[in-house]
Amino acid sequence: MHPYNQNLPEQVPTKNRLFRRVKDLLFVNRSTKQTIVKNVFWLSFSQIFGRIFRAGILIYAARVLGSEGYGVFSYALGLAGFFTAFADIGVSSIVTREAARQPEKRSEYFSTAFLIKLVLLTLTVGAIVFIAPHFSNVVGAAVLIPIVAFLTFLDGIRDFSLSYFRAQEKMEWEAVVTLILNISIAIFGFIVLRISPTPKALTYAYVFSAGMGAFSAVFLLRKEFAKLISNFRKTLLKPILISALPIAVSGFFGMFMLNTDYVILGWMRGAAEIGFYAAAQKIVQVFYVLPGLVATGIFPSTSRLIGEKKHGNVKSINEQAIVLMLLIAMPLAVGGIILAGPIIALLYGAEYMPATLAFQLLVATTPFVFIGTILGNLLFAYDQQKKTAIYVGVAAVANVLLDLLLIPLFGIYGSSAGTLAVQFIYLFFMYRLISSINRLTIVSKLKKVILATITMGTVSFFLNLAGLHVLLNIAASILIYFAFLLVLKEVTLNELKKIVQRFK
């Protein structure tokens, strides 16, 4: 009998045994691999259902408010969102890393970093209230900006608290807070829009929901918040700020790079091409959520193991994470390229068919982005954020130069090709850097994934050629891909299966 099941005697009712096993798998940290699986599960669960709840109320709001009212609401949130880049500057990430690496100093890092966060949030709220209105040229948005500033403050408190849950490798509590937030937005958003269908009413619903999320997070961490003053350490201020500065620079360049394509397309092309590019990019950005969930799930364990000098374990975990990411990204890229036309037509209609090639180029970035996300977190765990900030800066500059060179010649296709090239270059330098610290072995572990991807791509191509509906094609391709991996006994799938089977 597996050791996890030794305390489950036969006379215990089946329901109780099942409850204990589910609890051991999803609520208790038993081993590093099981903890990572548990954390990724809860992050995925909360993100997926949270996005469904939020998408539902936003679709309803768009219908009730109309394009103008919904535009005012979105503009106010977006304008405030620009300033939120300065509300953290990487402090939360430092808390996750250092509290995971030095458990004995968790409370001290929490208290010291929170007070830094409080100052940053206060300054950000001030900037939103007093500076943001000068950037606004949308009628009706100005009255929402002070309300949105309060929303930013509450979101900042919640996000900081989530970073501490991650340090404790307790993502189940993060899932609770995230679900409370999004369910509140859905419920109270619907209620206020029924009573008063205005952008201001919806904004108040968002603030109330953010308050629910912040309150639930503070309540779960009430013991830490009760000792904020006594656990504050002035000596930690400088190390936290110095470590966070490169993250702030990376965040700035990342935000700059994310918006560069749209700005330059607007200068050189026009609204129609921006619409095609946005349509293609929105699909790919949904895929980009996946590596973030896995990277967040393994980051605390990675930081803890580095602190314990267990670099072999760090290597093993991150190799498996990258193989898992490529196991998902490679079929996404190949399938997306093959089925780009039918996917665009299904989601947006025939009018958006010019976005097909842009989507093919952008979806080809998924393997690079998936790997890069894992490597970025690993390098941060190794305290290499200064060097990665340089790489992000170089990538941002390269993106601008390629846009200026390619957009006049090829429009959105040039912009998409430039994005693909920049992601490849960025990953190349990231991999070189991590290889100098803890060399990862990846290629030799991908033979079965590559073979399964080729098989899936071939089947998908001929099914598309035969005129099979794109949804049926996708379903058949997924089944064939994973069936092939199971037949080949792909190691990563077997590892996941073993972890789950321990609790059966």
More confident residue, 501 or 308: 308
The amino acid present at 190, given as its one-letter code, is F
Query: What is the per-residue pLDDT for 19?
Result: 66
Query: What is the per-residue pLDDT for 4?
Result: 40
Q: Report the domain count for the chain.
A: 2
Specify whether 125 is located in the same domain as 217: yes
Specify whether 140 is located in the same domain as 284: no
Average pLDDT over every residue of 253-282: 71
Cα 430 from Cα 396, distance rounded (Å):
15
**pLDDT at residue 93 above 60?**
yes
More confident residue, 89 or 418: 418
**pLDDT at residue 32 above 80?**
no
Specify whether 270 is located in the same domain as 320: yes
Average pLDDT over every residue of 376-405: 87
**pLDDT at residue 70 above 80?**
no
More confident residue, 417 or 282: 417
3-state secondary structure of 107: helix
Query: What is the per-residue pLDDT for 101?
Result: 81
**pLDDT at residue 6 above 60?**
no
Domain boundary residue, one of 406, 423, 445: 445
Residue 10: band (very low, low, confident or very high) from pLDDT cuts 50, 70, 90: very low
Specify whether 198 is located in the same domain as 299: no
Specify whether 224 is located in the same domain as 297: no
Q: Is residue 265 part of a domain?
A: yes
Q: Is residue 473 part of a domain?
A: no
**pLDDT at residue 27 above 80?**
no
Cα 430 from Cα 387, distance rounded (Å):
9
Q: Is residue 321 part of a domain?
A: yes
Specify whether 46 is located in the same domain as 183: yes
Specify whether 164 is located in the same domain as 86: yes
Domain boundary residue, one of 445, 480, 498: 445
Q: How many residues are given for the chain?
A: 504
Domain boundary residue, one of 401, 430, 445: 445
- Average pLDDT over all residues of the chain: 83
**pLDDT at residue 157 above 50?**
yes
Q: Is residue 1 part of a domain?
A: no
Q: Is residue 363 part of a domain?
A: yes
**pLDDT at residue 216 above 70?**
yes
Specify whether 216 is located in the same domain as 304: no
Query: What is the per-residue pLDDT for 3?
Result: 43
Query: What is the per-residue pLDDT for 460?
Result: 95
Query: What is the per-residue pLDDT for 1?
Result: 40
Specify whether 214 is located in the same domain as 288: no
Q: What is the pTM of this model?
A: 0.72
**pLDDT at residue 9 above 80?**
no
Q: Is residue 13 part of a domain?
A: no
Average pLDDT over every residue of 258-282: 72
Among 279, 263, 281, 253, smallest CA distance to 416 is for: 281
Specify whether 37 is located in the same domain as 185: yes
> What is the enclosing helix (H) or strand (E) of 284?
helix 271-307
Q: Is residue 502 part of a domain?
A: no
Specify whether 201 is located in the same domain as 314: no
Average pLDDT over every residue of 285-290: 82
Give residue 89's domain range. Answer: 29-232
- DSSP assignment of 126-189 equals HHHHHTGGGG--STTTTTTHHHHHHHHHHHHHHHHHHHHHHHTT-HHHHHHHHHHHHHHHHHHH
Cα 325 from Cα 371, distance rounded (Å):
7
Query: What is the per-residue pLDDT for 22?
Result: 65
Least confident of 27-31, 95-99, 205-209: 27-31
Query: What is the per-residue pLDDT for 254?
Result: 67
Q: Is residue 497 part of a domain?
A: no
Average pLDDT over every residue of 149-158: 90
37 Cα distance to chain centroid: 17
Average pLDDT over every residue of 265-290: 76
More confident residue, 45 or 453: 453
Specify whether 204 is located in the same domain as 271: no
Least confident of 258-262, 266-270, 335-339, 438-442: 258-262
Q: What are the Cα distances from residue 354, in Å, to 22, 278, 351, 358, 407?
A: 48, 12, 8, 8, 15
Summarised one tens digit per residue, pLDDT across range 113-135 is 999 999 999 998 898 888 877 76
